[in-house]
């Protein structure tokens, strides 16, 4: 039997520290080894206790969460899961992810115990997943891989679709900004994020990219040069109009998917509308979202790339596709853009 995952809980609220500790302690696979009231104390406790995972609030006195993450990742990288209140700025959460945090969980604004415990299952799952992330992958090396200066596009595909979860905000920043301004097909992305964060993330990715990156809107035409990110809380699918244009559809249905938006739902729709002219990419993330959708794409003659295990923060989603025999090629994160360009 494996030893329990040792966790340090960081929050300026004594009540939240107590509740987070109780939530995590419900799992026999987790041991809370310490708590801290602010970022400075967290640095000291992390050095003394050497935890496997840290859960971290963002708004704290003395040293806030973002600066703690930055300093901790410089001193000794450790998997960090942000536990933020919904009212906190999405920009602050994204800055925490940029600084090296693996994932985040929203704590409800109401501090009634029953509301706070609603997130217990999600928190436990994300802490256990974070504990599996090899330390060397917490800050993916942005190694430059030679890209063709003038790519020779083959007119083989009409759409690039990408599915990603844990580690996605960091991983996409090593893929999308390296796509050239003349990239000839539209790009659609499903990333598992809570409501209120996808628009801000799209804006950040847009600032770093030659292509236009935006949160998808209802009825928007798919166009080359534009990357659309599915809004949190709604599935992204496609339909072809009578004049041949393909436009987006946003819907809360189906309701029975583990995630909304779902990679499976988007991939299936892409296969139904574009047939063999779909190139799909499944990147780092927990679970198996994307496996069923990849089967649809392969059945219609499209191709599927998966992120290689050695660069995944969590090798869950890509593993499910590989083990189902649906991956055409497993590619390291640092050469994923090059692999996409080679096929497109």
CA distances (Å), origin 128, targets 61, 81, 166, 336 = 28, 10, 12, 27
Query: C-alpha 313: how far from its chain's center?
Result: 10
283, 164 in Cβ contact below 8 A?
A: yes
How far, in Å, CA of 75 to CA of 164, rounded? 28
β-strand partners of 235: 251
335, 302 in Cβ contact below 8 A?
A: no
Q: Which residues are catalytic?
A: 165, 192, 289
What are the E-state strand segments in the chain? 5-10, 30-36, 53-56, 80-85, 103-107, 159-164, 187-191, 212-215, 226-229, 235-240, 246-251, 278-282, 303-307, 329-331
How far, in Å, CA of 258 to CA of 288, rounded? 10
Residues listed for the chain: 344
């Amino acid at each position: 039997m494996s030893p329990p995952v040792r966790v340090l809980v960081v929050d300026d609220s004594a009540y939240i520290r107590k509740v987070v500790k109780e939530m995590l302690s419900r799992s026999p696979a987790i041991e809370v080894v310490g708590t801290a009231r602010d970022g400075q104390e967290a640095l000291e406790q992390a050095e003394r206790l050497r935890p496997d995972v840290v859960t971290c609030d963002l708004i704290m006195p003395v040293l806030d969460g973002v600066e703690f993450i930055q300093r901790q990742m410089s001193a000794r990288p450790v998997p960090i899961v942000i536990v933020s209140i919904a009212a906190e700025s999405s920009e602050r959460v994204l800055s925490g992810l940029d600084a090296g945090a693996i994932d985040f969980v929203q704590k409800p604004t109401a501090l009634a115990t029953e509301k706070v415990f609603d997130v217990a299952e999600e928190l436990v799952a994300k802490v256990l997943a974070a504990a599996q992330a090899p330390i060397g992958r917490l800050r993916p090396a942005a190694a430059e891989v030679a890209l063709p200066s003038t790519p020779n596009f083959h007119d083989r595909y009409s759409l690039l679709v990408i599915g990603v979860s844990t580690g996605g905000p960091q991983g996409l920043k090593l893929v999308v900004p390296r796509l050239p301004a003349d990239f000839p097909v539209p790009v659609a992305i499903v990333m598992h994020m809570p409501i209120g964060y996808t628009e801000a993330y799209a804006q950040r990715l847009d600032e770093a990219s030659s292509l236009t990156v935006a949160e998808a809107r209802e009825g928007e035409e798919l166009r080359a040069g534009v990357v659309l990110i599915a809004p949190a809380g709604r599935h992204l699918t496609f339909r072809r109009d009578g004049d041949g244009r393909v436009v987006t559809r946003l819907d809360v249905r189906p309701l029975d998917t583990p995630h909304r938006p779902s990679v499976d739902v988007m991939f299936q729709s892409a296969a139904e509308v574009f047939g063999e002219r779909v190139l799909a990419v499944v990147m780092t993330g927990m679970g198996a979202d994307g496996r069923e959708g990849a089967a649809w794409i392969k059945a219609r003659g499209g191709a599927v790339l998966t992120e290689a295990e050695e660069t995944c923060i969590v090798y869950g989603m890509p593993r499910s596709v590989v083990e189902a025999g649906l991956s055409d090629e497993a590619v390291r994160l640092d050469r994923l853009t090059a692999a996409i360009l080679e096929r497109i």
